[in-house]
Structure 1
Amino acid sequence: MGMAVTTLRTGVEEWWAPDLSPNTSQPPTFDPKYGFPNGRKEREPTLSYEEMVAHKIPEEYRDYCAHYYVDMLKCFRKNMPFGYRCKHEKHHWEHCEYEEMVGRMKEYEREKRLLQRAAKKKLMAPMSEEMEE
């Protein structure tokens, strides 16, 4: 129930005010270091793209958690048909995927807040000029 309401609300907001909702198919419009006085640590995947291709990782799993995915597959191959012995590796991979999803949601919300802030500043600019005169 909660997920459907969230999805509906996000969909309505994107329809009602598309200029205030980030476009998820494009890169962020604001500087990633904006608002971080000491800078921000750049995230880099543990495996390079060539290593991911060499391990034959499916395209949808080529992300920051690919090294956990490789460890899980190695364990599954080693312990076949007793896959339940790899629950530790699977847990690490799922936890990493969850943290990655939370990070994407935070980035979306940050972009959305910055878009709303920019629109508010743009709206308030003519009013502040009138007050000065």
Structure 2
Amino acid sequence: EKPRTGVAEAYSELRSNNSQNTPNKQKQFSKAMEVEGSSKKMIATQAEMVEAKVPLPYRDQCAHLLIPLNKCRQSELYLPWKCETERHSYEKCEYELVMERMLKMQKIREEEAKLKQQQTKKQPFPLIPKTAQAS
């Protein structure tokens, strides 16, 4: 069985296997939603996110912080000066996820640049001289 990487695939698998919804299946679903290579683990379970009505795009490693934030927002009538600690912790978590993705992408670009350099070193001279190329 191939590993599920996307949220949509994991969600559709969960919906199709709804009759077999055991805690083990929920753990598999949570693992499928984790960003590959991320240091953060999924804390909120699928059942908790469904119960809290967390929209699909927000079901990431920071969902466990979004649930109490949304409850606080509803109880405080969305007043902007309320729920600051919850909002700060959620935004910090999201920021850390974005920074992890940026660092991972930077490493991928550096590896691609190294491979490209190695490939150009294998060819001692270009087939078409640079002076002959129209720029």
TM-score (norm 1): 0.56
Tell me the number of residue pairs that the alignment of Structure 1 and Structure 2 aligns: 88
Tell me the equivalent position of 1:96. Answer: 93
Which residue identity is paired with 1:67? Answer: H
Which residue identity is paired with 2:64? Answer: H
2:43–2:61 Cα contact (<8 Å) kept: yes
In structure 2, relative to structure 1, the CA distance for the partners of 1:116 and 1:50 (3 Å cut) is farther
Gaps of 5+ in 1: 1-39, 128-133
Superposed, 1:10-29 pairs within 5 Å as none
Higher RCO by CA contacts (8 Å cutoff, separation 6 or greater): 1
The DSSP-based 3-state class of the residue aligned with 2:118 is helix
Greater than 6 Å deviation, 4+ residue runs = none
Tell me the equivalent position of 1:116. Answer: 113
Tell me the equivalent position of 1:79. Answer: 76
Which residue identity is paired with 1:55? Answer: A
CA deviation profile, 1:15-36 (whole Å, cap 9, x unmatched): xxxxxxxxxxxxxxxxxxxxxx
RMSD between aligned alpha carbons? Answer: 2.3
Q: Percentage identity across aligned positions? A: 26
Query: Looking at CA atoms only, which structure, 1 or 2, has the larger radius of gyration?
Result: 2
Superposed, 1:33-48 pairs within 5 Å as 43-48=40-45
Tell me the equivalent position of 1:70. Answer: 67
2:66–2:90 Cα contact (<8 Å) kept: yes
Q: 1:81: how far off? A: 5.4
2:38–2:100 Cα contact (<8 Å) kept: no
CA distance in 1, matches of 2:38, 2:96: 16
CA distance in 2, matches of 1:92, 1:116: 36
Q: 1:84: how far off? A: 2.4
TM-score (norm 2): 0.55
2:69–2:86 Cα contact (<8 Å) kept: yes
Tell me the equivalent position of 1:19. Answer: none
